[in-house]
Structure 1
Amino acid sequence: MTGNKDEAILPNPRLAVAMVGTMATWWMGIPIGIILGLVGLIHRQWKEMFTVTLQAFALTIAVAFLTGLIGLGYGYYNFANDPIYFTSAWYLPKNLLDVKNFVAVGSMHNFSYIGGVTGLLAAVYFSIRRRLQ
C-alpha cells in the first residue's frame, strides 16, 4: 500500500490508538486521584479509608466508562448521521477513511470527560455518605 506524506501507516494500529487514548486522558486521573485520596482521609480507620476510597475509584471508573459508551452510541447515531453538524463542528483529517466512526469515537472521548467529572462527584458523595453512617 502506498501513501502520501500526510498518511501514517503503522505496523500495529490498535497499539497506536491505545497510546493516543492514554495520552489524551491520563491527565484526568491526576486530579481525580488527588481529590478522592484527600476525601478518603475523612474516614476514621485506615482499613475503612482504603476500602471506601477503592470503591470510590471503582465508582468513578464505572460512571466514566458507561458515560463514554453512551457518548459512543449518541455520536454514532446522532452526530455522525448529521453531516452539517460534524463537518462544521469537528476537525476532520484530509484523508480520513471512516468519518462516521471517527465522529462516534470523538463523541465517546468527549462524553468520557463528562463521565469522569460526574463519577468524581458521585464518588465524593459516596465517600462522605459512608463516613456519616
Structure 2
Amino acid sequence: MLKLATFIAFILLAVLTAGIFGALHDQISYTVSHEYFTKFKFFQFHLLDPDVPERVRAAIVGFRASWWMGIPLGLLAGVAGFIHPNAAQMLRALLLSLVVISAFTLIFALAGLTYGYFQTDSLNLGNYRGWFIPPNLVHPRNFICVGYMHNSAYLGGLLAIPVAWIFHGYYRRLAARVA
C-alpha cells in the first residue's frame, strides 16, 4: 500500500517537475529568440498583458505547455519504481529518476537547438513551409532554432521514459550490491 501511495505522489511530483522544467526551458528559449514568444507563444497562450514582464510570461508559457508531459512520464517511469524491494528505496529511485529524466530532456533539447543552428546555417524559409513563421521577423534563424529546441524537448521527454527504466534497473542492482 505504501508503494502505491509513493507511485501516486510521484505522478503528481512529475507533473510539477515537468511544468517547472518547461518554465526554465523557456527562459533559455527566450534568450535565444524573444520573437518566438512576442510574435507566437504569447498570442497562442493569450498572455498579452504588457504589465507582466516578458520573461515571466515566457515562464508561464513553459509551465502551461509542459506540465502535462508529467502525466505519461510519471505513469510510465513511475511504474518502474515497483521493481524496488520497499517503498523507501522506491522513493529514492523515483526522485533520482526525475533528475535523470530532466537532465536527459535538457541535453536532448540543447542538442536540438544545436542541430537547428547548423540546419539554418544558410537559411531558406521555403524549407519551413509547414512551420508557423510569422512575417516581419528580425531574427528568423533564432526563431526557427527555438522551434527545433522545443520539438527536441518533447522528443527528449518521450525518450527519457526508457532511459528512466534503464536507470531503475541499474539503481536496483546497485542497491542490492550495497545491501
Identity %, equivalent residues: 33
Structure 1 alignment gaps of length 5 or more: 1-6
Residue 85 (structure 1) aligned with residue 146 (structure 2): no
1:18 offset after TM fit, Å? 1.6
Counterpart residue number, 2:50:
10
Count matched residues: 126
CA distance in 2, matches of 1:113, 1:72: 13
Structure 2 alignment gaps of length 5 or more: 1-42
> Once superposed, which parts of structure 1, at least 4 consecutive aligned residues long, lie more than 6 Å away?
none
Counterpart residue number, 1:116:
157
Structure with the largest fraction of helix: 2
Residue 96 (structure 1) aligned with residue 142 (structure 2): no
Distance of aligned partners of 1:37 and 1:122 in 2 relative to their CA distance in 1, 3 Å threshold? same
Quote the RMSD (CA, aligned, Å): 2.1
- The 5-angstrom pairing of residues 1-133 of structure 1 reads 10-11=50-51, 12-79=53-120, 81-83=122-124, 84-86=126-128, 88-132=129-173, 133=176
CA distance in 2, matches of 1:31, 1:53: 14
Q: TM-score, normalised by structure 2?
A: 0.63
CA distance in 2, matches of 1:16, 1:66: 24
CA distance in 2, matches of 1:44, 1:15: 43
CA distance in 2, matches of 1:79, 1:98: 12
1:122 offset after TM fit, Å? 0.7
Deviates more, 1:51-60 or 1:72-81: 72-81
Distance of aligned partners of 1:79 and 1:21 in 2 relative to their CA distance in 1, 3 Å threshold? farther
Q: TM-score, normalised by structure 1?
A: 0.82
